[in-house]
Amino acid sequence: MPDKWILKRLQALFTFALLVFVISIVLWSGSTDTDFESSSTFSNATTQDFYWVDVEPTHELIWHQCYAPLQRECARLLVPLNHLNQSSDNPSHAAIAIIRKPSPYGPSHPRYRGPILLNPGGPGGSGVGLVYELGDLLSEALGPEFDIVSFDPRGVGFSTPKVDFFGGVLNGEREFWGSLAFGVIRGGPNEKFPEVEGEKGKSVEATWAHALVRNKLALENAGEWLGNVNTEQTAYDMLSIVKAHGREKLMYWGFSYGTVLGSTFAALFPDKVERLVLDGVVDAENYYATLWSNNLLDTPKTLNRFFEMCHTAGPSSCAFWAPSPSLISANLTRIYKDIITNPIPVRTPTSYGVLDYNHVRTGIFRALYAPWATWSRLAQALANLGGPDRDATLMWNLTGLPTFRCTSCSIPCGNKDRREVEFGATLEDGLTAIACSDGLDIPADLASAKKYFDDLSQKSEWAETWANIGLSCTGWPKVKKGFQGPVEGKTSHPILFIGNTADPVTPLAHARTMSKRFPGSRVLTQLSPGHCSASGPSICTQAIIRKYFLSGQLPPEGVKCPVISSPFSDPPPHDSIERTKAAAVADGDEAVFGLSSEDEDVSEQKMRDAVDKLSRAWKPFNKAFL
**Can you count the helices (H) and strands (E) in the chain?**
20, 14
For the chain, which residues score pLDDT lower than 50?
Answer: 1-41, 43-47, 575-583, 587-592, 597, 622-626
Q: Is the peptide bond before 69 cis (omega within 30 degrees of 0)?
A: yes
Which DSSP state fits 169? S
CA distance 466 to 404: 25
CA distance 473 to 482: 16
Read off φ and ψ for residue 201, nearest 5 degrees.
70, -165
Q: How far is CA 25 from the centre of its chain?
A: 14
Burial category of 56 from C-beta neighbours within 10 Å (exposed 0-12, middle 13-18, buried 19 and up): exposed
How many C-alpha atoms does 181 have within 13 Å on its Cβ side?
Answer: 24
Between the CA of residue 439 and those of 6, 481, 482, what are the distances in Å? 53, 8, 9
Q: What is the CA radius of gyration of the chain?
A: 24
pLDDT at 403: 65
Q: How far is CA 387 from the centre of its chain?
A: 32
Our CA dihedral for 287, 293, 296, 298, rounded to 10 degrees, sits at: -90
pLDDT at 33: 30
Residue 117 pairs in a beta bridge with 149, 252
**Quick count: other Cβ atoms within 10 Å of Cβ 31?**
21
Between the CA of residue 321 and those of 376, 449, 529, what are the distances in Å? 11, 40, 18
Beta-strand runs (E) in 135-272: 146-151, 250-255
Which DSSP state fits 430? H
Question: What is the per-residue pLDDT across 472-526, written as a single tens digit (0 to 9) for each?
Answer: 999 999 998 999 999 999 999 999 999 999 999 999 999 999 999 999 999 999 9
Please enumerate in sequence order all residues whose Cβ is within 8 A of that of 408, keeping only pairs 6 or more positions apart, or say none: 18, 170, 171, 172, 418
Read off φ and ψ for residue 128, nearest 5 degrees.
-60, -45
CB 571 within 8 A of CB 586: no
CB 128 within 8 A of CB 151: yes
pLDDT at 177: 75
